[in-house]
Amino acid sequence: MELFPTASQTVGPFFHLGLTDPHSIAKIAGPNAKGERVKLICTVYDGEGKVVPDAMVEIWQADAGGKYNHPEDTQEKTADPDFGGFGRLSSDAQGVCVFETIKPGRVPSWTDVAQAPHLSISVFARGILKRLATRAYFAGDAANGEDPVLALVAEDRRDTLMAHRDGAEPDAWRFEVHLCGPRETVFFDV
């Protein structure tokens, strides 16, 4: 008997139904969380530049002091009790989801230089077999130039990892995720 591989199944446009509403988390920072308030506006695009209205975006980040609210963060600092560190939303009809959080602090790296403030982002969408992992850095942050992870990315591709200030709102930052195509976001194999 000869065995043949079968086709893989991809995630359909329905997968976020059980993982978002009522399980959505848009407010990552509570009202008493320390740090600079940030509204992160994520927009997800497909390879043709059209919005993806049914993606799911997850964010994991450190608090303003650079401490993750997770037992594996063994730094001798106390995590901000009013900061959760995790968010999950589905994109709307315009491909957008909005998180209310704070700008994270610098976290340690495997080198002697701390990482620049960033948000770890996972994207799930139809046609994708596993999550796409990326990061959102803050454009213009002085620490970006010495971030060891950002240094691994080709200089001409680093802008795909930058959130940019939205001129309409002082605390708003826009981050675009392009799933493929000429403006594809840099994704990490983690």
- Quote the strand ranges of 4-117, DSSP E: 37-45, 56-60, 86-90, 96-102
Per-position pLDDT tens, the chain of length 190: 776 666 555 555 555 555 556 668 889 999 999 999 999 999 999 999 999 998 999 999 999 999 998 888 888 899 999 999 999 999 999 999 999 999 999 999 999 899 999 999 999 988 888 899 999 999 999 999 999 999 999 999 999 999 999 988 889 999 999 999 999 999 999 8
pTM of the entire predicted model: 0.88
Helix (H, G, I), strand (E, B) or coil at 12: coil
Q: Which residues contact 180 (CB under 8 A, 6 or more apart)?
A: 46, 47
- Closest C-alpha to 30, from 68, 71, 80, 79: 80
* CATH for the stretch 41-178: 2.60.130.10
pLDDT at 135: 98
